[in-house]
């Protein structure tokens, strides 16, 4: 049996940890430059406001219902996520973090349903008390069924935050009311194929033959069919590493200064390189781009270059060196860039890499330096050590009008109590 721990409305819940006055009040968290809604409290969901809606389109609702809005505060969200994952990891030998607010726990060391439910309820209470973020748990014999159970635990109060699927009757009942479009692993195209075949819910899909699933869908769809029938396909192996990693932002104001643009792009490069190292991978290619506003009356040239590495790398210094060469070749005086980003492609695991006899770079030295930098930043906080060409922390390049303090990661922003 597995359990999925899923934080409820995670970004909103993080904001409420240090703002208890906002409990039971409508709250949204916005994307970069305060553009779109990326997290909603249950109160906002009941108002019919959709995920991803541009913030300017709901101004009437904000005023009418007193909706409180925050700019994204990823330093806070990431730190609280790490605390939650550490608490979960103490109770299982195999914890797989799936996203910033979700993780799978292996419960094979517990032999009865009562033990499994009790552990999840205990964890839920400990994390709510110790971190302040509410969780829902779904328990089932496969990870796809865990996702189904966690959805029921999150949306129905009668489960008290923990739902278990431990019998075929419970499995069939849960799948009968579960839309095909909501199934983990079923994308938009696969859902359209199933709907064309007259399948509208998860039980209809699981009830078809294996031959039907294999021939209508791809391998992922077939594995999902197996998981819905209680046959776990995703066991103790790691979830697949990302095949591309992107960091891109829209600037609050057009950028025409070359130094400022380079700093922003190097900042993006540093972020994606760190994500690459965290999943123990390297990349063969890197795409760097900077585009003017598409609403300009006169078209302006964009920066867009694909950089190939003879030897795959995850070293920030090497990647930034190549990025700066590409940007300086394509940068044009007077162009006002509104958006930029970095994309990593050709990602593979570090082990088994082919080296080159003609490589003149001291990669062992580079890796030792990079490892030391990562350890310092992990201990003392992000960007304690950083590349000099990245953005200074006080640069106002993005719109963050309602960003909450970094309560847990910056001593200058620690919460103040008035007695």
Calpha distance 184→191 (Å, rounded): 11
Verify that 63 and 98 share a domain, yes or no: no
Give the domain range for residue 68.
9-75
**Residue 351's pLDDT is what?**
66
What tokens does 290 get? 């900077």
| Residues 156 and 91 occupy one common structural domain | yes
The predicted pLDDT at position 394 comes to 61
Per-residue confidence (pLDDT) for residue 11, from 0 to 100: 95
Is the same domain home to 285 and 326? Answer: yes
Residue 147 lies in a domain: yes
Give 388: exposed, middle or buried? Use CB within 10 Å, 0-12, 13-18, 19+. exposed
Q: What is the CATH number of the domain that holds 310?
A: 3.30.1490.100
For residue 91, the model assigns a pLDDT of: 87
Whether 186 and 219 map to the same domain: the answer is: yes
Q: How far apart are CA 372 and CA 103, in angstroms?
A: 28
Indicate whether 21 belongs to any domain. yes
Predicted pLDDT of residue 236: 45
Domain end marker among 52, 75, 98: 75
Asked whether residue 386 is assigned to any structural domain, the reply reads no
Residues 257 and 271 in one domain: yes
3-state secondary structure the chain: CEEEEEECCHHHHHHHHCCHHHCCCCEEEECHHHCEEEEECHHHHHCCCCCCCEHHHHHHHHHHHCCEEEECCHHHHHHHHHHHHHHHHCCCCCEEEEECCEEEEECCCCCCHHHHHHHHHHHHHHHHHHCCCCEEEEEECCHHHHHHHHHHHHHCHHHCCEEECCCHHHHHHHHHCCEHHHCCCCCHHHHHHHHHCCCCEHHHHHHCCHHHHHHHCCHHHHHHHHHHCCCCCCCCCCCCCCCCEEEEEEEEEEECCHHHHHHHHHHHHHHHHHHHHHCCEEEEEEEEEEEECCCCCCCCCCEEEEEEEEEEECCHHHHHHHHHHHHHHHCCCCCCEEEEEEEEEEEEECCCCCCCCCCCCCHHHHHHHHHHHHHHHHHHCCCCCCCCCCCCCCCCCCCCCCECCCCCCCHHHCCCCCC
Spatial distance between the Cα atoms of 174 and 144, rounded to a whole number of angstroms? 12
Output the pLDDT for position 238. 46
pLDDT in tens, 142-186: 999 999 999 999 999 899 999 999 999 999 999 998 999 899 888
Q: Are residues 286 and 207 in the same domain?
A: no
What is the reported pLDDT for 398?
Answer: 65
Question: How far is residue 93's CA from residue 5's CA, in Å, rounded to a whole number?
Answer: 15
pLDDT at 342: 94
Number of domains in the chain: 3
Query: Does a structural domain hold residue 239?
Result: no
In a domain, 363, yes or no: yes
pLDDT at 75: 84
| Residues in CB range of 238: below 8 A, 6 or more apart | 96
Residues 86, 107 within the same domain: yes
For the chain, residues with pLDDT lower than 70 are: 234-242, 351-358, 393-401
Per-residue pLDDT, 237: 46
């Amino acid at each position: 049996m597995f359990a999925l721990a899923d934080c409820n409305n995670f970004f909103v819940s993080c904001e409420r940890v240090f703002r208890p006055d906002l409990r039971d009040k409508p709250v949204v968290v916005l994307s970069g430059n305060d553009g779109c809604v990326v997290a909603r409290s249950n109160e906002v969901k009941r108002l019919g406001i959709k995920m991803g809606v541009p913030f300017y389109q709901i101004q009437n609702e904000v005023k009418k219902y007193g909706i409180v809005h925050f700019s994204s505060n990823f330093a806070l969200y990431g730190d609280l996520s790490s605390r939650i994952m550490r608490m979960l990891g103490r109770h299982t030998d195999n914890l797989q973090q799936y996203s910033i607010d979700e993780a799978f726990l292996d419960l094979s060391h517990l032999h009865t349903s009562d033990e499994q439910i009790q552990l999840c309820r205990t964890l839920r209470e400990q994390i709510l008390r110790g971190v302040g973020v509410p969780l829902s748990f779904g328990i089932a014999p496969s990870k796809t069924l865990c996702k189904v159970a966690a959805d029921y635990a999150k949306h129905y109060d009668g489960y008290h935050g923990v739902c278990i699927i431990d019998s075929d009757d419970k499995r069939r009942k849960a799948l009968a009311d579960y839309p095909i479009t909501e199934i983990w692993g079923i994308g938009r195209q696969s859902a359209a194929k199933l709907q064309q075949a007259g399948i509208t819910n998860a039980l209809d899909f699981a009830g078809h033959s294996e031959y039907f699933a294999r021939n209508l869908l791809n391998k992922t769809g077939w594995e999902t069919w197996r998981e819905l029938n209680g046959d776990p396909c995703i066991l103790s192996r790691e979830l697949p590493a990302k095949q591309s990693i992107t960091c891109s932002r829209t600037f609050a104001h057009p950028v025409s200064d070359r130094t400022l643009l380079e700093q922003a792009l190097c900042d993006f490069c540093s972020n994606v390189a760190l994500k690459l190292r965290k999943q123990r991978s390297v990349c063969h290619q890197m795409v760097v781009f900077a585009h003017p506003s598409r609403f300009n009356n006169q078209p302006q040239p964009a920066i867009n270059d694909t950089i190939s590495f003879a030897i795959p790398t995850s070293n920030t210094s090497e990647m930034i060196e190549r990025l700066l060469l590409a940007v300086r070749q394509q940068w044009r005086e007077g162009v006002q860039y509104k958006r930029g980003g970095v994309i990593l492609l050709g990602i593979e695991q570090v082990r088994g890499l082919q080296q080159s006899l003609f490589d003149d770079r001291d990669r062992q030295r580079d890796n030792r330096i990079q490892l030391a930098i990562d350890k310092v930043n992990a201990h003392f906080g992000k960007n304690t050590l950083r590349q000099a060409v990245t953005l200074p922390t006080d640069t106002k390049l993005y719109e963050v009008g309602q960003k909450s303090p970094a309560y847990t990661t910056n001593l200058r922003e620690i919460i103040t109590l008035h007695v």
